[in-house]
Copies of this chain bind each other. A is one copy, B any other.
Amino acid sequence: MIGRLNHVAIAVPDLEAAAAQYRDTLGAKVGAPQDEPDHGVTVVFIELPNTKVELLYPLGAESPIAGFLEKNPAGGIHHMCFEVDDILAARDKLKSEGARVLGSGQPKIGAHGKPVLFLHPKDFNGCLIELEQV
């Protein structure tokens, strides 16, 4: 079911400093910050040859990563995103096997303009998993 690893997302306490570190110290290809108001984050995409790293910084009062940064003030790996061909089929299979889907269970449009869902970390070894239909 799962295909490519679309990205690994890192919540960071200082977006400008983190982007500069990936660009200058780690020598990666780093994009410009993009506000994603529907997701409560500002994102910087880091393009690696085979996948992406996404730096996440809270945007707005209801940001879903604000709590994570409170618990992890230095930042940390927030989630990983796997691609799927059919997000509704994936959701239904996972639910039928007892895995919990976060929120309403209806896919939202993610930062890449594609339908996404998040799976409950407690059902996946403490890892927040995003599924993105490609």
A 76-117 contacts with B by CB, 8 A: 76-77, 80, 82, 93-94, 97, 99
Contact B3–A49 (Cβ < 8 Å): yes
Nearest CB in chain B to that of A3: its residue: B49
A2 CB contact (under 8 Å) in B28, B72, B94, B126 = B28
Interface bits A50-76 vs B (CB < 8 Å: 1, else 0):
110101000000000000000010111
Interface size class on chain A is: 35 or more
Contact A5–B53 (Cβ < 8 Å): yes
State the copy count for this chain: 2
- Given A1-B27, A18-B125, list of 15 further CB < 8 A pairs? A1-B26, A1-B28, A2-B26, A2-B27, A4-B48, A5-B8, A5-B51, A10-B125, A10-B127, A13-B125, A21-B124, A25-B99, A48-B82, A72-B126, A77-B80
Is A12 an interface residue when CB atoms closer than 8 A count as contact? yes
Most chain B beta-carbon contacts within 10 A, residue among A5, A10, A11, A125 = A125
CA distance A4 to B5 in the complex (A): 12
CA distance A26 to B130 in the complex (A): 12
Nearest CB in chain B to that of A53: its residue: B5
Q: Which residues of B contact A125 (CB under 8 A)?
A: 10-13, 18, 21, 55, 74-76
